[in-house]
Chains A and B, each alone.
Chain A
Amino acid sequence: MNKARQNPLNTAAMHGALILYTLIALFPVFVIIINSFKTRRAIFREPLALPDSESFSLIGYQTVMKQGDFFLYFQNSMIVTVVSLTFILLFGAMAAFALSEYRFKGNLLMGLYLALGIMIPIRIGTVAILEMMVATGLVNTLWALILVYTAQGLPLAVFILSEFMRQVSDDLKDAGRVDGLSEYTIFFRLVLPLVRPAMATVAVFNMIPIWNDLWFPLILAPAEETKTLTLGSQVFIGQFVTDWNAVLSALSMAILPVLVLYVIFSRQLIRGITSGAVK
């Protein structure tokens, strides 16, 4: 390739800028995690030092384990995220298939209607959502959260998945029809496996906002037994504000699951963004 764009000084400057920003991005996370393993004195005396044999302590984690019900919170977050994602993917793919495969009256209008929600945040309707959940008795259940997140995730899911489903070859589907497969079999057996990469992209896009949301758990499901990890750690940290060991440990424990998810799915996420799924 060309030499005009390569220049050692430039390369060094580019790495310098990227390293600097990477440090800025990671520094707070790093400080929180190392200090969660230290004694209270060491936290204040040398906040930037790594824990050593003298300053190492797990007292914060012990407090968190004793006082907070983090396993329950984690389980709630897990249920809400997994069930919501399943609904978003299943319902979203079905609707996307209907919109991209069949020509019927109102197809375009239906597509536009479903796309409205991409730009309008669901939070605007919170007052009426809360009223509805109270009226149906769903308040303080995980179902309230699952329904809200499903509704919130569907517009973008339908939009992305129908773009991908338009690319599935018609010959394949027609061959299936000639063989006497029903429309349902064609969808589940032929089309769904082919759009799996797009489904993974949609899943990753929706996963993190659902897991991290504070607004709806705070309003719709603040009861102790339905707290999600995000709300649970917020309440816990609020109560233990002066116990720095406990606060730092709770923060580290909240960081961990997201980091694990990110390490597993980061390639999928980045491929999804860079493949132009959100143009």
Chain B
Amino acid sequence: MQTRRIRWHIVVFLAPAVLVYTGVMIFPLFNTLRLALFTEVDQTRVYVGIQNFRTLFFDPIWSEQFWNALGNNFWFFLIHMLVQNPIGIALAAILSHPRLRFAALYRSAIFIPTILSFVIVGFAWKLILSPLWGIAPSMLDAIGLKSLFAPWLGKEEYALTTLALVSVWQFVGIPMMLIYAALLSIPEEILEAGEIDGITGASAFWKIKLPLILPSIGIISILTFVGNFNAFDLIYVSQGALAGPDFSTDILGTFMYRTFFGFQLQLGDPHMGSAIAGAMFAIILVGVCIYLFGIQTRMRRYQL
């Protein structure tokens, strides 16, 4: 075989992306996992193996917060799966109806909350739900349901669910758009063939379209999962780093922020923070693997 000279242009084309990506993303990621195995004693770094993780999972002071945050995070994710994605699919199904007028207008309007920052969304809903201002109670009063009103964000039992629903309100546009795209790519012939067999309207959706868009629903689920398990901003903006009332809205993102950055009287502890990041990494990795190997490969794909 001939000895090939190095084709320098390939190196030049790849170098900037690979360097920035490796230096700012991959290297810190592994460095964080490595830092989780250390602790600080008298201002020097000491290797302690998996001691930090043992503290996180079993030490009563830490583990109570950790399992609380993890449980809250799963609830947060569950609400997104049960509310956001079905609404998104339903809206997409309606929007993709042929010859629906103003479809583009609806689509753009419903997507607007998704482009707003958490700061805007968090504060706007905080004001609207505030008993001081009284928009929410007076609107409930108008439909005769005033007795249902409570300061939802201030009550331990409702706060997390309320915030999850606010987040659903914000992000419904994403499943809507992705499912809408998937529905548009279904060829007309398939639907017409179904019509000849007498399958129209709702049954066409359940029997023909839904099986065809299952792969997109899979993608949405994993995007929701990853997004929810590194969520932070909305909780921080509306409830602060302490994720009140009484940590009832604490999720892994806020827990990690508090731990490694410190707040009020607690000093930041980068090593425990890294341990929490490690746990988050493991959870996301497990989720992504379940999706890639458990769901995506088994899902029947139809050649369209």
Contacts and interface: CB of A to CB of B under 8 A. Distances in A.
Contacts, number: 259
Interface string B247-288: 000000100110011000000001001100100110011001
Interface stretch (B10-18, B74-82, B144-152, B153-161): B10-18
Contacts of A273: 177-178, 181
A83 interface: no
Interface string B115-158: 11111110111011000011100100000000000000000000
Interface in A21-36: 21-22, 24-26, 28-29, 31-32
Contact of A237 (B12, B123, B135, B260): B123
Interface stretch (A51-59, A149-157, A166-174): A149-157
A230 B120 CA distance: 9
A120 B29 contact: yes
Contacts of B230: 121, 123-124
A110 B21 CA distance: 12
A97 B13 contact: yes
B192 A17 contact: no
B63 interface: no
B55 interface: no
B228 to A, nearest CB: 11
A139 to B, nearest CB: 13
A127 B14 contact: no
A204 to B, nearest CB: 10
Contacts of B260: 126-127
Contact of A44 (B133, B233, B257): B133
B94 A18 contact: yes
B109 A26 contact: yes
A250 B271 CA distance: 37
B18 A26 contact: no
B274 A215 contact: no
B35 A127 contact: yes
Contacts of A219: 257, 261
Interface residues of A, number: 96
Interface string B14-29: 1011101101111111
Given A211-B117, A214-B119, A10 B201 contact: yes
A278 B20 contact: no
A278 B215 CA distance: 12
Max count, chain A CB within 10 A of own CB: residue among B116, B177, B226 = B116
B104 to A, nearest CB: 8
B158 to A, nearest CB: 18
A29 B116 contact: yes
Contacts of A262: 111-112, 115
B119 A254 contact: yes
Give the size range of B's interface with the partner.
Answer: 35 or more
Contact of B277 (A19, A24, A127, A151): A127
Chain A's interface: helix, strand, loop or mixed, by majority?
helix
Scoring B117, B135, B192 by chain A CB atoms within 10 A of each residue's CB, the highest score goes to B117
Contacts of B18: 95, 110, 114
A25 B184 CA distance: 23
A124 B200 contact: no
Given A14-B97, A128-B31, A273-B181, A94 B13 contact: yes
B29 A258 contact: no
B53 to A, nearest CB: 15
Contacts of A29: 112-113, 116, 124
B110 interface: yes
Given A125-B29, A126-B260, A212-B119, 14 more contacts: A5-B200, A14-B100, A25-B172, A31-B135, A32-B127, A44-B134, A48-B138, A91-B16, A116-B26, A154-B17, A155-B21, A183-B9, A187-B13, A237-B119
B284 A230 contact: no
Contact of B99 (A1, A32, A211): A1
Given A94-B16, A270-B177, A214 B117 contact: yes
A179 to B, nearest CB: 17
A24 B97 CA distance: 21
Nearest to B110: A25
